Amino acid sequence: METDTLVDGKTGRKCYLDLPSGLAPGEEVTFVLSLHGGGSVGRWQREYFPAYDYVDKYRLVVATPSAATREPTRHWAADADDEYLVDLVESILDRLGRSRVRAFWLAGHSQGGMTSQRLLAGNDYFADRADGWLSLSGGRLGPAERAPDFGPPRTVEERKAFENAMARRGVFQRPPMPTAEFSFIFTTGEHEVASVPDTSPWAERYGAGPRIRQADVVDDRPGKIHDARFDANPSLSWGRKPAPGTAQVYVYPGGRDGRMIADVVRLDKGHTEGLEPCVTEELIKLMVSAPGGKVRALSSASAQAG
């Protein structure tokens, strides 16, 4: 694996970039833009979803930036981040060569997942190029109801003040349903949601069949990170210290154009326990099994038009 730090020439913002070692000329890669949640940073996200452990095995390129806006807490915002994210992706595509990008995925935890949906629903650049979205506790297309006690273990007064501040900024406002074409994988901790529906509007859109449960993914090793701010007062919904675990995997088969649509439920987990190694790899397997080609097709069309 090779790890680089990209520095944006306009803003000085930094981004982790993990690449497979020994890339051969013309070798295909899957490019993942990984977005952290509200109150977090790229360094935390990189450990929460440690796709870098698998860049060599699955020939991934993973970019993990940080949001610019810091008030009332660090979060992704259209006015502060969208242009930067477009420039970041363009710089990486230029570096890789568009013809070698087999597929381009957005991956986002929490508010980073909501941001992924917003980009897919309202930003033509990402809607035209993204082949898939991996929602890491970042919302479901066809919502899963949150657990009644979801959220950091704050007092009632603290929670109200925080929610009011975020509402004024529109930070957690659910974006509209996208019209773009892409594969969709949703994963959540069992304790974050009241339940995950056994049907999916996104699967229905693609004419996929009823969901089928795959073999459980069993991890005997913990994830790498968690939200340590609440160690003295942890909650099931927000998450505890990392621990081994089991994940249930459900796939909706037969979707049009081979689209991958799946739900993955991590048992006895909350919102912030970092993903264990085996479930991380399973999510990557699902991603790389899905169709791609939007970046390549758009590049080819632009070249022909030119």
Every domain of the chain and the residues it spans? 2-305
Q: What is the pLDDT of residue 7?
A: 96
Q: What is the pLDDT of residue 184?
A: 98
Query: What whole-number distance in Å separates Cα of residue 293 and Cα of residue 124?
Result: 16
pLDDT for 94-117, tens place per residue? 999 999 999 999 999 999 999 999
Average pLDDT over residues 30-52: 97
| 293 conformational bin, left if phi > 0, alpha if psi -120 to 50, beta if neither | left
Query: What whole-number distance in Å separates Cα of residue 267 and Cα of residue 144?
Result: 15
Residue 33, SS3?
Answer: strand
Query: What whole-number distance in Å separates Cα of residue 226 and Cα of residue 212?
Result: 30
pLDDT band at 166 (very low <50, low <70, confident <90, very high): low
**Percentage of the residues of the chain whose pLDDT score is greater than 70:** 95
pLDDT for 270-284, tens place per residue? 999 999 999 999 999
**Percentage of the residues of the chain whose pLDDT score is greater than 90:** 83
Separation of CA 70 from chain center: 20
Q: What is the pLDDT of residue 62?
A: 98
Q: What is the pLDDT of residue 300?
A: 80
Separation of CA 13 from chain center: 20
Query: What whole-number distance in Å separates Cα of residue 41 and Cα of residue 32?
Result: 17
Query: pTM for this one?
Result: 0.94
pLDDT for 113-153, tens place per residue? 999 999 999 999 999 999 999 999 999 998 888 898 888 87
Q: Does domain 2-305 have CATH number 3.40.50?
A: yes
Q: Is the pLDDT of residue 156 over 80?
A: no
